[in-house]
Amino acid sequence: MTEGATGSGATGSTVPRRQLGRYLRDLRNKSCLTIRAAAEALEWSETKIWRIENGHTSMRSHDVETMCRIYGAPVDTTEALMALAKETKASGWWLSYSDVLPEGFDVYLGLEEAAARLQSYQSELIPGLLQTGPYARTMIQAGRRGRSEAEIERRVQIRIQRQALLGRVTSPPQLNVVLNEAILRRPVGGAKLMAAQLAHLLEVAELATVTIKVMPFDAGMHPGIVARPFVMLDFPTNINGTPTEPPVVYMDGFTGELYLDKPHEVEQYSGAFTDLWSASLDEATSRSLIADTVKELGE
């Protein structure tokens, strides 16, 4: 149970919730119980079991003890999982924004905070971790018609506060981003706003842990066209060299998000990002292209 030693801290409860869910799913499978059979034995709904096993809800120690008893878990395993359940109660900084946080997005925020490396391909928009306030506001206003100005502003604050992890003193994540050239050419919010946004990219790229590359138009067909925008998250390793959390691919859609964590899915996206990274302009050429675009927008 070394995995459970991962502290929640700034990461909120996402990681311990997902860890606990995996352990409980493994115990259920070893006991040869289907989700339906487990739900009947526990007198819970199948949806509740699914949510627990997929890390979508915090857990009480008493409920974990009950599940372990039904699944026939050893005493030491039960005690370790009950301790892990207490970590699922921890809250991240985003709790204060729960009134405007998109449903389920707290899961991603916890994973983002805990990640050791984020690899992202974006085809249409600057990713949230690299957006300026005005750019973020323009995007949120476009996607949230009918929402109040107060709600839009709080959503902007969430996006800006997320960016603190890039400059944190302790173990900032490595961020590797490939931007489709179309993003640079689309003056979101007007030329002045976009010039400031691109200048911000150049500034953030000065961080040792941030690398931004551009996929040029003349690259032709490339994996990003098929894969669509995605973020792949890798996590720190334990003292025994195993990841504290399996890698996961996150895809954000207009109506909801998608998480892919099956090994063959992650492997496919890992290969796609490797190919995207190789096909894109090198870091220096990308910087020059971004800087030239800033000048063009200012003319």
- Does residue 2 sit within a domain? no
- Helices and strands: H and E segment counts in the chain: 13, 6
In a shared domain, residues 57 and 111: no
User: What is the average pLDDT across 9-33?
Assistant: 82
Q: Which two tokens stand for residue 125?
A: 């928009």
Question: In this structure, what token pair is assigned to residue 42?
Answer: 């526990």
Q: CA angle, corner 262, sides to 85 and 172, nearest 5?
A: 65
19 and 42 co-located in one domain: yes
Per-residue pLDDT of 145-156, as tens digits, reads: 677 889 999 999
Query: Band of the pLDDT at 38, cuts 50, 70, 90?
Result: very high
- In whole angstroms, give the CA distance from residue 209 to residue 168: 11
Measured at the CA of 297, the angle between CA 199 and CA 163, to 5 degrees, comes to 25
Q: Same domain, yes or no, for 132 and 201? A: yes
CB 21 within 8 A of CB 53: yes
**Same domain as 291, residue 163:** yes
* Full-model pTM: 0.81
Model confidence over 108-135: pLDDT tens digits? 888 998 899 999 999 999 999 999 999 9
Confidence at 49, pLDDT banded by 50, 70, 90? very high
* Residue of 92, 249, 255 lying closest to 161 (CA atoms): 92
Hey, what amino acid is at 239?
I
What would the pLDDT profile of 236-286 be if each residue is shown by its tens digit?
Answer: 887 787 888 899 999 987 656 788 989 999 999 999 999 999 999 999 999
H helical segments located in 120-166: 133-143, 149-162
Tell which residue, 183, 176, 210, has the closest CA to residue 126: 183
Average pLDDT, the chain: 89
Q: Assign 25 to helix, strand or coil.
A: helix
**Domain co-membership, 29 together with 105:** no
Q: Looking at 66, 87, 108, which one is the last position of a domain?
A: 87
Cβ distance 68 to 60 under 8 Å? no
Q: 164 pLDDT exceeds 80?
A: yes
CATH number at residue 165: 3.30.870
Which of 87, 120, 145 is the C-terminal boundary of a domain?
Answer: 87
Domain of 23 in residue numbering reads as 8-87
**Residue 5 confidence class, pLDDT cut points 50, 70, 90:** very low
DSSP three-state, residue 189: coil
With bands split at pLDDT 50, 70 and 90, how would you rate the model's confidence at 45?
very high
Pair (129, 181) in one structural domain: yes
pLDDT at 145: 66
Percent of the chain with pLDDT over 70: 93
Tokens 């961080």 sit on residue: 207
Same domain, yes or no: 193 and 149: yes
CATH number at residue 66: 1.10.260.40
- Pair (230, 104) in one structural domain: yes
Query: In this predicted structure, what is the pLDDT of residue 211?
Result: 98
Confidence (pLDDT) at 1: 44
Joined together, the tokens standing for residue 184 give 């640079």
**pLDDT, tens digit (0-9, with 9 covering 90-100), for 75-102:** 999 999 998 888 877 778 887 888 888 8
Q: How many C-beta neighbours within 10 Å does residue 95 have?
A: 12
Q: What is the pLDDT of residue 78?
A: 92
1 lies in some domain: no
Choice between 7 and 120, residue whose per-residue pLDDT is larger: 120
Question: Which pLDDT score, from 0 to 100, does residue 254 have?
Answer: 63
Dist. CA 65–CA 262, nearest whole Å: 28
The closest alpha carbon to 117, from 179, 204, 177, 175, belongs to: 175
Instruction: Answer whether residue 119 is part of any domain.
Output: yes
Residue 241 φ then ψ, to 5°? 90, 0
pLDDT value, residue 63: 94
- Interval 187-193 mean pLDDT: 96
**Segment holding 81, helix H or strand E:** helix 75-87
